[in-house]
């Protein structure tokens, strides 16, 4: 079963649930999902590096970046 079929199957199942407590638990599970846990270590490292650059004021404004890279755009 591909991912789209799995999603459809879950949606179909959820629409038939009559147990309010189960729905509350499913909502809590959905709210607790953290995108940080879903990304790769390389992506986390890149974000951390960007935050470090920001805190150390190693940033460029949009117009500076456009000037540097306009030949590629």
- 27 and 43 share one domain: no
Q: What is the pTM of this model?
A: 0.48
Domain tally for the chain?
Answer: 2
pLDDT digits (tens, 9 = 90+) for 28-43: 988 888 889 889 999 9
Full residue range of the structural domain in which residue 56 is found: 38-73
State yes or no: pLDDT of 6 exceeds 90.
yes
Category of 61 on φ-ψ map: left (φ > 0), alpha (ψ -120 to 50) or beta: beta
- 68 and 45 share one domain: yes
- 72 and 44 share one domain: yes
- 53 and 71 share one domain: yes
State yes or no: pLDDT of 1 exceeds 90.
no
- 55 and 42 share one domain: yes
- 45 and 60 share one domain: yes
């Amino acid at each position: 079963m591909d991912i789209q079929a799995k999603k459809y199957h879950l949606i179909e199942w959820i629409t038939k649930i009559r147990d309010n407590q189960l729905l509350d638990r499913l909502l809590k599970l959905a709210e607790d999902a953290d995108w940080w846990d879903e990304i790769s270590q390389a992506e986390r490292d890149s974000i951390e590096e960007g935050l470090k650059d920001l805190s150390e004021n190693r940033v460029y404004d949009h117009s500076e970046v456009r000037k540097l890279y306009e030949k590629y755009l």
